[in-house]
Chain A
Amino acid sequence: MINLASRDILHGWGKFVFTGVGLGLLIGVTLTMAGVYRGMVDDARAMIDNAGADLWVVQQDTLGPYAEPSSIHDDVARDLLGQDGVLAAGNVTYLTMQIQRGGKDVRIMLAGVEQGKPGEPAYLVAGRPITRTHYEALADIKTGLALGERIKIHRQQYTVVGLTRRMVSSSGDPMIFVPLKDAQEVQFLKDNDALLNDRTRTAANPAFNRPNVPGLLDAVLASQISSHMVNAVLVHIKTGYNDQIVAEQIRRWKHLQVYTKGQMEEILVAKLIATSSKQIFMFLVILSVVSAAIVAFIIYTMTMNKIREIAVLKLVGAGNRTISGMILQQALGLGFIGFVVGKTSATIWAPLFPKYVLLIPADAILGFILVMLMCSLASIFAIRAALRIDPATAIGG
């Protein structure tokens, strides 16, 4: 039996292909939106995985350090080493900020880490780890920084000594790692004017300026220009220990909030990016509905342009199955072309997006099935219209 759908497509292939390309670009946008969502989730997971911690110790009653501000003393890390099951503990600070590079703003997440302790990037793709106590930095390659390049972060110049990959914040901002002390200074130290202002205000306070306590004012002033706060302590636990049990011990004895890796993932994926996910999901739904409407309209129009041919086919004995099959195959053909174009275009333009767009095969397979399903459903209107065509239309009078 002749395949009527393919013959019709070949006969007007230009129109069909251009329509497919148009639909494909729409499908490409839809696949990209799914990729943006996957990228956000992957960024969140990458941050947790790359931190290499088993537990996150943060300020009590907070979801810190990524989802809420958290501030704890940096000597907590030392205390935690005395807890049963704790192998290593490292102080970390995180600060999302903007730096200048080549006259352009680069949004980054600045992480302060202690050398050789949890919180450092898991691996480097170039260069070496931080070895000096100050003014060296490790940068994610997404920042565009090169080895040896000098960058200004607040008042200090830093030299990039190592490059990492996929070290991004949950918002997709690339990370720059600097020594903890430097990061604390960036995060907590005030500017010169503010310091002078604070000193004047403190000195004017009679409570700190008592004649019989000569060192008090100097001590208070000294405490104001140094910070011993960090955002979190990352903990490695010893092999064979249960993370939940160790976390519970820390909660009980240190009055701090502790999250396991699973809980932190839950916070990042389910809470922090939940609204963005819903936003993207809404876009996906709308794009899918628009795509379906366009396919339905195209197939319907194509069918209505063939009323006479369909009437003749029915008159000469073509069954409903033959007519429906022709329309359905054309809809599926259009969907197939659209999907190929969409997948190709999404693959081409995904790396151009400023944030990570993760196109995974499972989404592509699901997308293909949905496109085919959508095209099948969209063809129903055209099939119904075609089956209503009276074969008598072919005869005049």
Chain B
Amino acid sequence: MKVQQLSIFLENKPGHLENALKVLADRGINIMTLTIAEASDFGIVRMIVNKPDDAAAALRENQFTCSTTDVLALELDDTPGALLKALHAFSKHNLNIEYMYAFTEKRGDRAVMIFRFDDIQAAIKSLSSEGYNIVKNIGIIGA
């Protein structure tokens, strides 16, 4: 399913991530997973939170540059080869993954991966055609 990812621009300096996270904590936002892409001078914090719109509003009020993007959240069996099989569905349809990361928590006995595509609709379609039931997994994310 599609979930909203929150991305924040931060300079690569001590205390900057802390400042952003404080804004979210003060607004009662829960972070479900977080990853950082870093360049030499700056980084992009990408996270899945329980209330992305509230989180974005709070950050903007505090002069942070942020955006929300649709990403694909996919539940997978936590067994060897499960991720490989999902990736095969994408490569078969010539879909390039811009970036991906994992949920920190498991859902029951299953893992959750986040994928960023240029064309998320095409990605969803390719998964369906490979027999992944995307719709079934909708309920698991968010809150």
Q: Indicate whether A and B interact.
A: no
Q: A-contacting residues of B (Cβ < 8 Å)?
A: none
Q: B-contacting residues of A (Cβ < 8 Å)?
A: none
